[in-house]
Chains A and B, each alone.
Chain A
Amino acid sequence: MGKLLQKLFPSSNRHMNIKFLIYRYNSLKKSKLKYDFFAVPYNKGMTVLDVITYIYKHLDPTLAFRYECRQGICGTCGVMLNKKPVLSCSTQIDANLKTQMIEPLANFPVEKDLIVNLEPVLKRYLKIKPYLDKIHKVIITKKKSNESKAFRKCIECGCCIAGAPEITQSEKGCMDPMSLVKIARYVTDPRDGLDRKAMAKKNGIDKYSDALGKKLTLVCPRGIPIDEAIALLKK
């Protein structure tokens, strides 16, 4: 293990710092929004999560952030890196940018620093009945299973919501992309008994343009084809 660390932390890299601007806010204290500067020593292969934990461990113990798995699968560590939504554990730092910004996911109320309040989104989410309803007994073949497979990969990380200000900021009453993917997941599940397409229509599927779909597909850390979900629900 020592060798591994030696190789990845060669002394030539040790003194190269990258400056990070970190979003700071405490909703419970209604503090003033500010950005703090932290200089973090760069190491090859460093992830956004490494930067955050370095700051917490060595520079500021009050920094609030979430993480669990380091595997890109639990969906709890989403942040904005230079205004783009990413999972912090699965995203490496670009060493060419000498100053970078880490903020909480956009389009969510902020609870503290890099932690967003998930409640309003979950409240909206429950409205589309995000569960299998009225089960029909059918044989699921490989073909049938594959129809919903990509949409079943959602980990509710919220990156798509953060990447869709067009919807979340200006279209009141329109479902967010996470809800849209969940509806597509059940449209393609032959066991679900609800009229999900009508649900999608009622919740503003027409507000989603093809261009937005393409953009969101690139945003999704799980590679879910959100553009295909939109096309499917519009059909």
Chain B
Amino acid sequence: MNSPLSSSVKYIKTDILVIGAGGAGIRAAIEAKKSGLEVFLLGKEVLGCAHTGMAMGGMNAAMVKPATPGFHAQITIEGGYFINNYKMVKVFTDEMPARVHDLESYGVIYDRLDNGEFYTWAGPKQKYPLNVCVGDYTGREMMQGLVDEARKLKIKYTDEFFVSKLLTVKGQVVGAIGINIRNTETVVFQAKSVILASGGAGRMYKVTTNAMSNTGDGYAMALDAGAELIDMEMVQFHPTGMANTPSSLGVLVTEKTRAHGGILRNKKGERFMSKYYPKEMELAKRDEVSRSIYLEVAAGLGTKNGAVYLHVDHWPKTKILEIIPDVYEQYKNTGVDISKEPMEIYPSMHHMMGGVKINEWSETIVPGLYATGEVAGGVHGANRLGGNSIAEGQVFGRRAGIAATKFSKKIKYSQLPKKEIEKERSRIFSFINRKSGVIPHVVEDKLKQIMWDKVGIFRDEKRLVEAKKAIAKLKLEAKKMKTRTTLKERNRDLQDCLEIENMLVTAESVIDAAILRKESRGAHSRTDYPKTLDEWRKNIVVKNKNGKIVTEVISVIE
């Protein structure tokens, strides 16, 4: 028979396995590779195409006086509403300048002033500018530098590979199992340590800035392996996602636009931010601007497309082409010339502040398991400042590489858990082999709608509980998903099934934490608990207890 279950399993041994080939993952792999140990890098997408490359505006680092790491730390914590992990914030902001120099040694050239100093711009809360940038495609140039360096160091990798489960023995991570997306071949990686850098979960929302690969795989796999998640209720909506055509819905318009004088107006032409944040105006924090836009549209002051306007049509065209060339192109591709007419924008799910709970060395509570990048949580608290995301992955990516190397040098390979491997293989292939069932994208569409309607910019008990029930029901439905083809080559439905299961676990974590936090703080806005409460200056931890998701409240790590 042609059943994929009858096909063989390939085994690969490596000291350190890095799951995820975005900015943080490649940075971790570079650091680990330099130690001389064997490193293997896995990415779901073609190497270089990870979501990091979609970051536009810039990355924060105290490169130019009067900005200092201390100032960077202070606004990161204020911006995060004081529930960030303070130890992580300190190492992050202290080490960022050195990481910018690393990236330049990999080839990246940040924009400069005439005298050779870094060109920096000020995002929200930045009294002193912190954002270094390359046009409005900072993330893409950064990815290119990292990929170039990985090629230079001859780091082994397989791209278009889907890791479906971390393998553990007696509570320690000993490897991972997954399938090659090209041909559904099962591969088991045996590793002394595993660095999880698998990115966020934007795809569980109907409108998102995120790449298709951001399906919360890491959150679900980490929970399954015994790790804890933190701050999962903190979901960032970027104020300005494209909203003029269905095809471009949610696509990012960088904060750099507003930071350089972009103006928000409602359909009446009113500069509405003056009603909500008269001092900060367009440069209020992301959570604040997103809520303002939401309220404006809800009050009937939105455009026909249910959006608001973002103007740069008062800028000289040369300024547009220098500061935001890609935003110009993105709109041009949809038939809008932003030098002549306003953009239509609406908030779009952008970033998971929360994630796998790590310490300042990217260590989880599971021996041998490290996490970095968007999949990890702690440094951003309740709201992430623009420019801190692609930045922190460089610091904690490097640190994960160092810590994993140290750990791997001390231990021997463990035996692989044979039963666990077989069980996971039958889970994977059950989606192909069962005779009938639910079409995966039907489940996905329901999930996206639930999250968008009930776990969005504003939340309340009623809708959150409805969402919890709906997700529980959907989880049962998802168990019956069936691929529409049994083809082994490029079976997209199979990948969808595995990703949807991960998104559902992630969604459940977000909802449980959101129900528990009975206050409003940062990105978590409860209409039924609108105040920020001192007694809630705490973090919520989500963990897996015998297959059930449970929550716990802990003190902020200072």
Q: CB within 8 Å of B: which residues of A? A: 1-5, 7-9, 26, 28-29, 43, 45-47, 49-50, 56-57, 61-62, 64, 66-76, 89-92, 111-113, 115, 118, 126, 129-133, 135, 139-145, 148-149, 152-156, 189, 223
Inter-chain contact B305/A3, CB cutoff 8 Å: yes
Inter-chain contact A145/B112, CB cutoff 8 Å: yes
Nearest CB to that of A133 among chain B residues?
B152
If A4-B246, A73-B326 touch, whether A68 touches B45 (CB-CB below 8 Å) is yes
If A7-B305, A132-B148 touch, whether A69 touches B53 (CB-CB below 8 Å) is yes
Q: Is B85 positioned at the interface, with any CB of A under 8 Å from its CB?
A: no
Inter-chain contact B245/A69, CB cutoff 8 Å: no
Inter-chain contact A64/B489, CB cutoff 8 Å: yes
Nearest CB to that of A138 among chain B residues?
B116
If A4-B305, A62-B487 touch, whether A74 touches B243 (CB-CB below 8 Å) is no
Inter-chain contact B49/A74, CB cutoff 8 Å: yes
Inter-chain contact B207/A142, CB cutoff 8 Å: no
Complex alpha-carbon distance, A4 and B307, angstroms: 9
- A90 CB contacts on chain B under 8 angstroms: 329-330, 333
Inter-chain contact B251/A76, CB cutoff 8 Å: no
Shortest CB-to-CB span from A53 to chain B, Å, is 10
Inter-chain contact B251/A71, CB cutoff 8 Å: yes
If A68-B213, A112-B489 touch, whether A145 touches B111 (CB-CB below 8 Å) is yes
If A43-B246, A189-B109 touch, whether A152 touches B144 (CB-CB below 8 Å) is yes
Q: Is B137 positioned at the interface, with any CB of A under 8 Å from its CB?
A: yes
13-42 of chain B: CB within 8 A of chain A: none
Which of A29, A56, A148 has a CB less than 8 Å from the CB of B492? A56
If A47-B247, A69-B51 touch, whether A92 touches B334 (CB-CB below 8 Å) is yes
Inter-chain contact A143/B333, CB cutoff 8 Å: no
Inter-chain contact A154/B144, CB cutoff 8 Å: yes
Inter-chain contact A28/B183, CB cutoff 8 Å: yes
Shortest CB-to-CB span from A76 to chain B, Å, is 4
- A43 CB contacts on chain B under 8 angstroms: 246
Nearest CB to that of A71 among chain B residues?
B251
Inter-chain contact B54/A73, CB cutoff 8 Å: yes
Shortest CB-to-CB span from A77 to chain B, Å, is 9
Size class of the B contact interface (CB-based, 8 Å): 35 or more
Which of A7, A62, A139, A155 has a CB less than 8 Å from the CB of B116? A139
- A66 CB contacts on chain B under 8 angstroms: 45-46
Given contacts A4-B243, A76-B45, A131-B107, 16 further A-B contacts (CB under 8 A): A4-B246, A7-B304, A45-B246, A45-B247, A45-B334, A56-B492, A66-B45, A71-B251, A71-B326, A74-B45, A115-B490, A132-B105, A142-B111, A153-B137, A155-B53, A156-B144
- A49 CB contacts on chain B under 8 angstroms: 247
Interface CB pairs A-B, < 8 A, 21:
A1-B206, A3-B305, A4-B246, A4-B304, A8-B305, A45-B247, A70-B247, A71-B330, A74-B45, A74-B50, A74-B140, A115-B490, A131-B151, A131-B152, A132-B105, A142-B111, A142-B113, A145-B109, A155-B53, A155-B144, A156-B144
Q: Which 8 pairs across A and B sit closest by C-beta, in order of nearness?
A: A61-B484, A64-B490, A131-B148, A131-B152, A139-B116, A74-B49, A45-B245, A132-B107
Q: Is B211 positioned at the interface, with any CB of A under 8 Å from its CB?
A: yes
Which of A67, A130, A223 has a CB less than 8 Å from the CB of B148? A130
User: Most chain-B Cβ atoms within 10 A of its Cβ — which of A2, A50, A73, A132?
Assistant: A73
Nearest CB to that of B140 among chain A residues?
A73
- B231 CB contacts on chain A under 8 angstroms: none
Complex alpha-carbon distance, A22 and B243, angstroms: 29
Q: Is B360 positioned at the interface, with any CB of A under 8 Å from its CB?
A: no
Inter-chain contact B335/A92, CB cutoff 8 Å: yes
Q: Is B469 positioned at the interface, with any CB of A under 8 Å from its CB?
A: no
Inter-chain contact A148/B109, CB cutoff 8 Å: yes
- A140 CB contacts on chain B under 8 angstroms: 109, 112, 116
Complex alpha-carbon distance, A92 and B333, angstroms: 7
Q: Is B115 positioned at the interface, with any CB of A under 8 Å from its CB?
A: yes
Shortest CB-to-CB span from A148 to chain B, Å, is 7
Inter-chain contact A69/B107, CB cutoff 8 Å: no
Q: Is B149 positioned at the interface, with any CB of A under 8 Å from its CB?
A: yes
- B232 CB contacts on chain A under 8 angstroms: none
Nearest CB to that of A50 among chain B residues?
B247
Inter-chain contact A62/B485, CB cutoff 8 Å: yes
User: Most chain-A Cβ atoms within 10 A of its Cβ — which of B46, B305, B484, B488?
Assistant: B46
Complex alpha-carbon distance, A57 and B247, angstroms: 15
Which of B106, B112, B246 has a CB less than 8 Å from the CB of A141? B112
Shortest CB-to-CB span from B303 to chain A, Å, is 9
Complex alpha-carbon distance, A148 and B107, angstroms: 11
Which of B49, B111, B207, B329 has a CB less than 8 Å from the CB of A69? B49
User: Most chain-B Cβ atoms within 10 A of its Cβ — which of A1, A66, A148?
Assistant: A1
Complex alpha-carbon distance, A141 and B248, angstroms: 36
- A46 CB contacts on chain B under 8 angstroms: 247
- A61 CB contacts on chain B under 8 angstroms: 483-485, 492-493
Complex alpha-carbon distance, A28 and B54, angstroms: 32
- B335 CB contacts on chain A under 8 angstroms: 45, 92
Nearest CB to that of A64 among chain B residues?
B490
Nearest CB to that of B440 among chain A residues?
A61
- B137 CB contacts on chain A under 8 angstroms: 73, 153
- A144 CB contacts on chain B under 8 angstroms: 112
Shortest CB-to-CB span from B49 to chain A, Å, is 4
If A131-B148, A131-B152 touch, whether A141 touches B115 (CB-CB below 8 Å) is yes
174-195 of chain B: CB within 8 A of chain A: 182-183
Nearest CB to that of B488 among chain A residues?
A28
Inter-chain contact B151/A71, CB cutoff 8 Å: no
Inter-chain contact A141/B116, CB cutoff 8 Å: yes
Q: Is B541 positioned at the interface, with any CB of A under 8 Å from its CB?
A: no
Shortest CB-to-CB span from A22 to chain B, Å, is 14
Q: Is B441 positioned at the interface, with any CB of A under 8 Å from its CB?
A: yes
Inter-chain contact A74/B53, CB cutoff 8 Å: yes
Nearest CB to that of A27 among chain B residues?
B489
Inter-chain contact B49/A68, CB cutoff 8 Å: yes
Q: Is B48 positioned at the interface, with any CB of A under 8 Å from its CB?
A: yes
Nearest CB to that of B111 among chain A residues?
A145
Complex alpha-carbon distance, A11 and B128, angstroms: 52
- A131 CB contacts on chain B under 8 angstroms: 106-107, 148-149, 151-152
